[in-house]
């Protein structure tokens, strides 16, 4: 057995490379898309109606600045919504999310999940897979078991959607003891936002005449991250995640507390963002875009900006005078050391 383990470790491929290869194959299929079956269309329609029935969402504090978190008003059904942008195409984001049992996500869930596996369905299609997940719970609570199917679809507007709903399938985990049956359903949507670069640029313009185009400094700054991502060649997509959990207690269902769901939702989106993050490339493009605008584009400043520039010049002038005075004194000391 020891020899077999050594051989396995020696020839085991890098998990990130395997995940990337698997994801790339799925991305190519997602770019083409495929026709949904009638039962799949029904799942999409029911989930859309369910989450559309939520009247309003209450914003909640998020430990990660780039992820916005909301819960349904009053926590009536225990639903959670999360939104963020990621440095990746919509197809790649959807493929990452659909690959629930990838090596990366399984490794990240180590210690939190007792079991995470894909169930071999009788009828398996490219855009529909069946998964099982058993989540650890502290004593005296029993582990939570979730069995669900995921379906992806390429929408008419080019965005990608992954949905999941509970099923009545069973899984053999190899004797982990009793569990509490849980049900989860949700919608993951990723929408490419590269095309908004033109809108961001037009939004920064103030057409004073046909011959001259001027830019408000504050507007340029607000749109800089999006414009910079385009210049850097880094695609971006807007991601929205809607999710709800239910647990079965003695024959009835109860929505789990939102405080327990939010960290898991944040962790998933944070992992997705980290997997594709290209901050250094975008930061360099930030400077390139801003320097080019300052150098080549006429600027129009508000009164507050004009005042700030004036104060900055006065401070800089005073600093230059003090620096010049100190330099002259040093030169005098060097030239006349005895005086």
157-185 pLDDT, tens digit each: 999 999 999 998 888 887 777 888 888 89
Q: What is the mean pLDDT of residues 223-230?
A: 51
**Are residues 212 and 130 part of one domain?**
no
Number of domains in the chain: 2
Say if 335 falls within a structural domain: no
Q: Is the pLDDT of residue 130 over 90?
A: yes
| Residue 16 to residue 313: CA distance in whole angstroms | 51
Which residue(s) pair with 237 in the sheet?
A: 86, 192
**Are residues 263 and 162 part of one domain?**
yes
What is the reported pLDDT for 259? 54
Q: Domain range holding 289?
A: 195-234+278-322
pLDDT in tens, 247-279: 655 444 444 445 566 788 888 899 998 888 877
7 versus 334: which is more confidently predicted?
334
| Residue 42 to residue 184: CA distance in whole angstroms | 17
Tokens of 287: 């400077």
Q: What is the CATH number of the domain that holds 263?
A: 3.30.530.20
* Strongest mean pLDDT among 69-78, 80-89, 109-118: 80-89
224, 244, 277: which is the final residue of a domain?
277
Say if 328 falls within a structural domain: no
Tell me the backbone φ, ψ of residue 282, rounded to 5 degrees: -70, -40
pTM: 0.71
Which residue(s) pair with 144 in the sheet?
A: 135, 180
Say if 334 falls within a structural domain: no
**Are residues 78 and 225 part of one domain?**
no
Rg (CA), the chain: 27
61-65, 133-137, 274-278, 311-315, range with the lowest pLDDT:
311-315
Q: What is the mean pLDDT of residues 136-161?
A: 89
Say if 134 falls within a structural domain: yes
Query: Sign of the C-alpha dihedral, residues 320, 322, 324, 326?
Result: negative
339 versus 153: which is more confidently predicted?
153
Say if 337 falls within a structural domain: no
**Are residues 163 and 106 part of one domain?**
yes
Q: Is the pLDDT of residue 45 over 90?
A: yes
Say if 210 falls within a structural domain: yes
pLDDT cut 70: percent of the chain above it: 72
**Are residues 225 and 91 part of one domain?**
no
Q: What is the mean pLDDT of residues 70-93?
A: 86
| Residue 304 to residue 322: CA distance in whole angstroms | 27
Q: What kind and span of H or E run contains 179?
A: none
Average pLDDT, the chain: 76
Say if 256 falls within a structural domain: yes
| Residue 20 to residue 36: CA distance in whole angstroms | 26
**Are residues 208 and 221 part of one domain?**
yes
277, 292, 311: which is the final residue of a domain?
277
**Are residues 203 and 182 part of one domain?**
no
Say if 4 falls within a structural domain: no
**Are residues 155 and 20 part of one domain?**
yes
**Are residues 173 and 225 part of one domain?**
no
pLDDT in tens, 299-322: 777 888 888 888 877 777 777 677
**Are residues 37 and 19 part of one domain?**
yes
Q: Is the pLDDT of residue 75 over 80?
A: no
**Are residues 132 and 210 part of one domain?**
no
Confidence band for 287, pLDDT divided at 50, 70 and 90: confident
**Are residues 266 and 223 part of one domain?**
no
**Prior bond of 225 cis (ω within 30°):** no
Tokens of 185: 């359903």
């Amino acid at each position: 057995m020891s020899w077999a383990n050594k051989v396995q470790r020696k020839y085991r491929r890098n998990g990130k490379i395997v995940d990337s290869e698997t994801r790339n194959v799925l991305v190519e299929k997602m770019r083409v898309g495929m026709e949904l079956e009638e039962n799949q269309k029904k799942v999409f329609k029911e989930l859309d109606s369910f989450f559309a029935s939520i009247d309003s969402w209450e914003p909640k504090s998020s430990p990660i600045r780039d992820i916005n978190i909301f819960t349904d008003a009053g926590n009536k059904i225990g639903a959670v919504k999360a939104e963020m942008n990621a440095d990746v195409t919509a197809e790649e984001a959807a493929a990452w999310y659909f690959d629930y049992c990838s090596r990366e996500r399984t490794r990240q869930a180590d210690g939190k999940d007792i079991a995470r596996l894909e169930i071999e369905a009788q009828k398996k299609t490219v855009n529909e897979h069946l998964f099982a997940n058993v989540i650890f719970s502290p004593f005296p609570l029993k582990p939570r078991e979730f069995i669900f199917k995921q379906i992806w679809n390429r929408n008419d507007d080019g965005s990608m959607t992954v949905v999941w709903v509970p099923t009545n399938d069973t899984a053999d985990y190899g004797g982990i003891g009793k569990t509490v049956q849980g049900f989860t359903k949700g919608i993951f949507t990723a929408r490419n936002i590269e095309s908004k670069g033109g809108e961001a640029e037009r939004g920064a313009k103030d057409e004073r005449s046909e011959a001259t185009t001027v830019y408000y400094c504050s507007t340029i700054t607000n749109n800089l991250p999006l414009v910079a991502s385009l210049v850097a060649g880094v695609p971006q997509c807007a991601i929205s995640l809607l999710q709800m959990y239910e647990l079965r207690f003695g024959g009835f269902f109860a929505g789990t507390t939102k405080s327990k769901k939010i960290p898991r939702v944040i962790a998933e989106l944070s992992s997705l963002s980290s997997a594709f993050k290209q901050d250094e490339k975008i930061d360099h493009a930030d400077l390139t875009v801003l320097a080019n605008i300052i150098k080549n584009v006429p600027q129009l400043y508000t009164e507050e900006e004009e005042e700030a520039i004036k104060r900055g010049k006065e401070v800089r002038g005073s600093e230059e005078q003090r620096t010049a005075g100190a330099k002259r004194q040093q030169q005098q000391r060097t030239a006349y050391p005895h005086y």
